[in-house]
Amino acid sequence: MDRIIGIDYGRKRVGVAVSDPLGIFASALDTVHSAKIIDYLKSYSEKEHVVKFVVGYPMNMNNKPSEAAKDVDAFLNLLKKRFPEIPVELEDERFTSVLAHRAMIDGGMKMKDRRDKASVDRISAAIILQTYLDRMSGR
């Protein structure tokens, strides 16, 4: 079944989300140490048919790449080199952490659990992917 992977790349951790087979819904999947993300994606793509990567791209309010974009650019080069057959799309990731915190609060998550940065990264990846899926479907 076809899957689209959403990625919220960070220097320390990477949030990973996955689409349902129809490409309608995004679900938070995992948080992986940055040094292990390529191996993680390789392992996942051996089990599931990954048709696309959607990577959150950090932008400033003036629509120019933020400082963190350098790290994401390096990751994008590695991703394209290791998975040349899988297309990569970029999605603006502004405010995804804020939206992730809001989703955690709205979902009733306790304050102690909301401090877990790994949860924020996973949820941010799901928001990035869901934004992409909605835009592609015209929702």
Tokens of 94: 């502004």
Instruction: Supply the pLDDT for residue 69.
Output: 81
Structural domain that includes position 62? 2-137
CA–CA distances in Å: residue 128 to residues 13, 47, 81, 110: 16, 23, 22, 23
CATH of the domain at 130: 3.30.420.140
- List the Cα angle 130/132/136 in 5-degree steps: 115
Do residues 55 and 96 make contact, with C-beta atoms less than 8 angstroms apart? no
pLDDT mean by block of 10 residues, the chain; 139 residues: 94 96 94 96 96 92 79 95 97 70 61 63 91 85
Question: Using CB atoms within 10 A of its CB, is residue 123 exposed (0-12), middle (13-18) or buried (19+)?
Answer: buried
Judge if pTM exceeds 0.95.
no
Tally of structural domains, the chain: 1
Instruction: Supply the pLDDT for residue 122.
Output: 87
